[in-house]
Structure 1
Amino acid sequence: MKTAVFCTTIVGAAVALSGASFARAQGCLAAHTSSNIQSCITSGGHNMDGTGSGFLRHHPLTVEVDWRSFSSFRHFSGTVENTSRQTLGTFIANHQNLYNVTMDMQLTPRWSVNAFVPVLQGTRDQKYPPVQNVEVAGIGDMIVGVQGWVLRPPAENGGNIAFSAGLKLPTGINGGTGTARLANGTVQKVVADQSLQPGDGSWGFTLGSQAYKQTYFHTIGYFQGSWLFNPRDTNNVPTFRAAKGEGVMSVTDQYLFRAGLSRHVPHVYGLAASFGGRMEGIPVRDAFGKSNGFRRPGYIISVEPAVQYQYRRSMLSLSSPWAVQRNRRASVPDLANHKHGDAAFADYALILSVSHTF
């Protein structure tokens, strides 16, 4: 079956304080900025109340809860949309809610450690035989990590850069099941599609960086980049696909790059608005190890408006990446079988984050 679902937004890994967090659902990517880089964007690397390292000593723990929601239904092969899927009614609708809990402990003004716990709830609706209406919910792969700023915050030059690393733990469900109704009307339990699996059951690691710099007109430029490395080849979870080389699920790398500008909204204390671009995806071949098995490689490029509001030790942020280019690339089995599978993308995503420093 060529049908595929590739989700627009970031999934089980997080880069400690890198500003990027991956909620790892196999074949599906979700990413967004955490409150750590938002705080820098909002206040230029200083706390809103004007405090510095003394604030960190008295309030070192930050807890963030994120919610991301998106529905993917537009099928692409390469950069070409398969509009016939909509006309013939053979498209697959995939809806996901991703909940992430991040706990960050500031050890010093420069160094911090954190832990990231993703939870996925998703449904996949296939209306043509065998009809499937599958729902899966569970914990994804957790991450523990560390980050260090090059300059001791707050940086006097109005800019700074941080590097981070994290260890991904195989804590997530990677063989979740759902129900399918066959042509004869019988209902049976099936292994859920790769896009609905909260984890991949494998060890991995993340590397990332984030930076910000005060620019003209009280505007702050920001950048972040992160990569989830999964050296394992496949996880032996069956896909029940007939194509050669697609019988089990691949364990994939994931990446995210973001950049843009942010500015404090005049005359509104604690409110900032930002606008930027982002590129995220799954590579055809991983950086380390083999890349066999079934995967839906590709990328999505989006524009991302966002607003952030900070009040005392709490922060609320809302962003909505809108896709401007979607590309489902050919996988390793696709290339070997001289074909090109498709994937379904969403038009946009909603990302809501709430954090509080204790």
Structure 2
Amino acid sequence: MKRILQPAAVSAALLVSLLGARSTAHAQGCVAAHSPQPIISGLDPGIQANARHSGGTGLFHGLTITTGYRFYNSYRHYVGTDYQEQRQALHNAVVNHVNLFELDLNYQITPRLSVIASIPGMTASRHGQATDTNYYHSGGIGDITAGVHTWIFRPPTENGGNVSLSAQLKLPTGINDAKGTTHIAGGGTQIRPFDESIQPGDGTWGFALGTEAYHPLYWRFTGYFTGSWLFSPQDTTGVLTYRKQPGEQVISATDQYLWRGGFSRPVTGVKLLRGLALSAGGRMEGVPVRDAFGSSNGFRRPGYVISFEPGLIYSRGRYMFNASGPWAMERNRKKSVTDIANGIHGDAAFADYTVITSLSYSF
């Protein structure tokens, strides 16, 4: 029997980082998802072929380990959808350099059901554009998630498509109060927590729901969609911000979301490129103004990034490699609950692009 390469656990939590602004959500800076979303099964050019040669039994028991990496620099400040060009001209923009790491585990119990877990980590720096004053470095483990993933239809399906659902519990394992020396107004220094955008986690309980779907189309194209939402019912993390606006003294525990959709096609006609598929689609990730459950007080930078996302997937034997490069097309820093109450509209720094890669191995 030939064993099928199983994809990584469907995107765990949108763990940390909305674009230049928080620990668990970052739209490529302060408003987007920290964790790289794993590959979609239907985009693997070898999966359906392997399924046809597995005796119709579908996927087999076993463990798949995926390592993921995501990198971005956020430095373009936005208020709503308006680019704050003067920040660059005046050299007072704030720059985040973020490296996100993730270890995903997927243990296949039956052809339809898997147990999944995700362990994220982060290293990051934050500094002003014009000076190295208040140059911060942060890093550590994020909020671990664990749960189950199931396919609606037993694979392999007759029409070659499928839909899956996942549910995970987010554990408060993340470092959310990493501190450093800060130069304060009027002179002197003080030990304070870093900005939430470079905190590895938010350290609160939560849960994540996800879905994944794919279906063959004409001329060997496959349509795909993935979506996930991280729910954070707790109001705030309890970590101080030292901000002066009313209601912004502590960091808000935020929901985060990520949607992806597009098309993929295997590269055909070239023997050396067998196992390679190319994809192109759209991506939207962000932090909502108000959470689905619980209050939404405290300081947050809500908003979203809509990106064009080209990518590729290469599978060979038990290995699968995935890479994509979302390029921001629209960035929007929305008003938070405290912004609305105070009659202001804060800004957030966004990246132009993100680099996302992952490598999977099935035992």
Question: How high is the TM-score relative to the length of structure 2?
Answer: 0.89
Q: 1:331 to 1:151 in 2, by over 3 A?
A: same
| 1:131-142 alignment runs, 5 A limit | 131-142=133-144
Q: How far apart are 1:65 and its partner, in Å? A: 0.3
SS in structure 2 at match of 1:306: strand
2:337 matches 1:332 = yes
Partner Cα separation in structure 2 for residue 331 and residue 248 of structure 1: 14
Q: How far apart are 1:344 and its partner, in Å? A: 0.3
Q: How far apart are 1:182 and its partner, in Å? A: 4.8
| 1:84-233 alignment runs, 5 A limit | 84-126=86-128, 131-182=133-184, 187-233=189-235
Corresponding position of 2:319: 314
Question: How high is the TM-score relative to the length of structure 1?
Answer: 0.90
Residues 51 and 156 of structure 2 are in contact (CA less than 8 Å); yes or no, is this contact kept in structure 1?
A: no
Residues 133 and 178 of structure 1 are in contact (CA less than 8 Å); yes or no, is this contact kept in structure 2?
A: no
Task: Output one character per residue of 1:257-277: Cα deviation in whole Å (capped at 9) or x when no partner.
Answer: 110000001122100000000
SS in structure 2 at match of 1:74: strand
SS in structure 1 at match of 2:89: helix
Partner Cα separation in structure 1 for residue 189 and residue 57 of structure 2: 61
Between stretches 79-88 and 188-197, larger displacement belongs to 188-197
Partner Cα separation in structure 2 for residue 335 and residue 154 of structure 1: 50
Partner Cα separation in structure 1 for residue 222 and residue 139 of structure 2: 38
Q: 1:133 to 1:160 in 2, by over 3 A?
A: same
Q: How far apart are 1:23 and its partner, in Å? A: 2.8
Q: Where does structure 2 lack aligned partners over 5 or more consecutive residues?
A: 1-7, 17-22, 27-31
Which residue identity does 2:256 align to in structure 1?
Q
Which residue identity does 2:293 align to in structure 1?
F
Corresponding position of 1:70: 72
SS in structure 2 at match of 1:132: coil
Corresponding position of 1:18: 10
Q: How far apart are 1:356 and its partner, in Å? A: 0.3
Corresponding position of 1:294: 299
Between stretches 26-35 and 232-241, larger displacement belongs to 26-35
2:351 matches 1:346 = yes
Q: How far apart are 1:177 and its partner, in Å? A: 1.0
- Among residues 290, 304, 310, which one is paired with 2:309 in the alignment? 304
Cα RMSD of the aligned pairs, angstroms, is: 2.0
Residues 262 and 281 of structure 2 are in contact (CA less than 8 Å); yes or no, is this contact kept in structure 1?
A: yes
Partner Cα separation in structure 2 for residue 280 and residue 89 of structure 1: 28
Which residue identity does 2:206 align to in structure 1?
G
Q: Where does structure 1 lack aligned partners over 5 or more consecutive residues?
A: 1-15
Which residue identity does 1:195 align to in structure 2?
S
Which residue identity does 1:353 align to in structure 2?
S
Residues 45 and 158 of structure 1 are in contact (CA less than 8 Å); yes or no, is this contact kept in structure 2?
A: no
Residues 121 and 140 of structure 2 are in contact (CA less than 8 Å); yes or no, is this contact kept in structure 1?
A: yes
Partner Cα separation in structure 1 for residue 255 and residue 46 of structure 2: 32
Q: How far apart are 1:126 and its partner, in Å? A: 2.2
Q: How far apart are 1:349 and its partner, in Å? A: 0.5
Residues matched between the structures, number: 340
Between stretches 264-273 and 125-134, larger displacement belongs to 125-134
SS in structure 2 at match of 1:138: strand
Corresponding position of 1:271: 276
Q: How far apart are 1:190 and its partner, in Å? A: 2.2
Q: 1:55 to 1:160 in 2, by over 3 A?
A: closer
| 1:11-50 alignment runs, 5 A limit | 17-19=9-11, 21-24=13-16, 25-28=23-26, 29-30=32-33, 31-35=35-39, 37=40, 39-43=41-45, 45-46=47-48, 48=50
Residues 140 and 172 of structure 1 are in contact (CA less than 8 Å); yes or no, is this contact kept in structure 2?
A: yes
Which residue identity does 1:171 align to in structure 2?
T
Structure 1 residue ranges, 4+ long, deviating more than 6 angstroms after superposition: none
Partner Cα separation in structure 2 for residue 297 and residue 169 of structure 1: 22
SS in structure 1 at match of 2:354: strand
Corresponding position of 2:19: none
Q: How far apart are 1:352 and its partner, in Å? A: 1.2
Corresponding position of 1:6: none
Q: 1:319 to 1:48 in 2, by over 3 A?
A: farther
Partner Cα separation in structure 2 for residue 75 and residue 167 of structure 1: 33
Q: How far apart are 1:228 and its partner, in Å? A: 0.4
SS in structure 2 at match of 1:152: coil
Q: How far apart are 1:183 and its partner, in Å? A: 6.6
Partner Cα separation in structure 1 for residue 355 and residue 199 of structure 2: 21
Partner Cα separation in structure 2 for residue 207 and residue 171 of structure 1: 19
SS in structure 1 at match of 2:87: helix
